[in-house]
């Protein structure tokens, strides 16, 4: 009887150790792009995304075949602005080095301010307040400005401020030129991203933030999706734009990977479970002798 209990205990431990002692999932991937379809939001004056059928059926040869044509403006949906978009002689889409498209990122949460004011612009003091709480903005980081604007997608009236072609009616938050100047002078970010249609706010006429950042070869990511799922820091952003020769920007798949979120408490729990399992194993092993 004892030897049966002992053997059962040993079998149980063989199951327990890998199941309970297994490290928690160490990474999580987050989609930061909107799909391209007939709802994708473009600048009011730009050409929207078209996906037109070429063929979709079984062929006379008996095999299945599907193909479509695509066309759109470079600037719409989730996309990258190459610095060339507002800065002569700076990088075009194909000239942005790959290491500029990937890197550790931070999120500046301005959603409560944007909730009260659709024309809100991130200021230098927003950046300084973030630093007081979370430490200095690290060098070569990708900075994401989060206004909670994704909750309006794909409703143009809410997201752009208008569903008309009149650009004077655009209302959405952005980055104040003072904040862009402050970043360029005092910090070393390699790319910025925003969850609105443009890094300058809707009412901008001079697009100063575009001018200031792109003159320093700092590309911009616009209409970044699902930023609400990101933490403040501790994640890596990957931006994979279409490789357009001479492009001023283009459609971009953007995603993030969260860093190891296993806390020391999780690790201690795993170790405790394993030690307990080994002790039970030894105890029943002795009893069964």
Ligand X SMILES: *[C@@H]1O[C@H](CO)[C@@H](O)[C@H](O)[C@H]1NC(C)=O
Q: Which residues contact 254 (CB under 8 A, 6 or more apart)?
A: 32, 33, 78, 193, 221, 224, 225, 237, 238, 239, 240
Q: Which two tokens stand for residue 101?
A: 């498209």
Site string for ligand X, 54-93 (x = CB under 6 A): ---xx-----------------------------------
| Nearest of 221, 229, 155, 164 to residue 189 by alpha carbon | 221
Joined together, the tokens standing for residue 78 give: 């989730």
CB of 74 vs Zn ion, minimal distance in Å: 7
Query: Pick from ligand X, Zn ion, none: which does 81 bind, CB < 5 to 8 A by kind?
Result: Zn ion
- Kindly report the number of other CB atoms within 10 A of residue 273's CB atom: 16
Q: Between residues 77 and 241, which has the closer beta carbon with respect to ligand X? A: 77
Binding mask 144-173 vs ligand X (x if CB under 6 A, - otherwise)? -----------x-xx-------x-xx----
* CA distances from residue 242 to 32, 173, 251 in whole angstroms, order as listed: 16, 26, 6
Count of residues interacting with Zn ion (CB under 5 A):
4
For the bound state, the minimum distance from the C-beta of residue 159 to Zn ion, rounded and expressed in Å, comes to: 15
Q: For residues 266 and 119, what is the distance between their CA atoms, to the nearest angstrom?
A: 43
Site for ligand X in 185-224 (CB under 6 A): none
DSSP code of residue 38? T
Tokens of 116: 């009260």
Among 28-36, 53-61, 81-89, 121-129, the segment contacting Zn ion (CB under 5 A): 81-89
Contact residues for ligand X, defined by CB under 6 A:
37-38, 57-58, 123, 155, 157-158, 166, 168-169, 176, 178
Note the residues at the interface with Zn ion (CB under 5 A): 75, 81, 222, 249
């Amino acid at each position: 009887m004892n030897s049966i209990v002992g053997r059962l205990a040993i079998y149980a431990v063989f199951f327990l150790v890998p199941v309970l002692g297994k490290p928690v999932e160490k990474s999580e991937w987050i989609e930061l792009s909107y799909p391209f379809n007939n709802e994708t939001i473009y600048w009011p004056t730009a050409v929207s995304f078209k996906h037109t059928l070429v063929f979709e059926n079984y062929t006379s040869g008996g095999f299945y075949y599907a193909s479509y044509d695509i066309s759109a403006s470079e600037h719409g949906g989730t996309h990258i602005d190459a610095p060339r978009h507002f800065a002569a002689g700076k990088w075009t889409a194909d000239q942005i080095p790959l290491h500029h498209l990937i890197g550790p990122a931070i999120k500046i949460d301005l959603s409560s301010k944007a909730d009260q004011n659709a024309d809100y612009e991130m200021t230098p003091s927003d950046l300084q307040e973030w630093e007081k709480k979370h430490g200095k903005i690290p060098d070569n980081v990708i900075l994401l400005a989060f206004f909670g604007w994704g909750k309006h997608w794909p409703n143009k009236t809410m997201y752009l401020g208008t569903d008309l072609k009149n650009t004077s009616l655009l209302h959405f938050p952005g980055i104040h030129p003072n904040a862009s100047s402050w970043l360029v002078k005092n910090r070393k970010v390699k790319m910025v991203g925003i969850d609105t249609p443009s890094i300058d706010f809707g009412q901008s006429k001079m697009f100063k933030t575009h001018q200031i950042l792109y003159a320093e070869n700092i590309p911009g990511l616009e209409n970044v999706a699902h930023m609400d799922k990101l933490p403040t820091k501790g994640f890596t952003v990957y931006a994979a734009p279409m490789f357009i020769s001479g492009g001023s920007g283009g459609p971009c798949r953007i995603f993030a990977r969260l860093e190891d979120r296993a806390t020391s408490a999780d690790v201690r729990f795993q170790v405790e479970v394993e030690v307990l399992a080994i002790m039970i194993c030894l105890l029943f092993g002795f009893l069964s002798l």
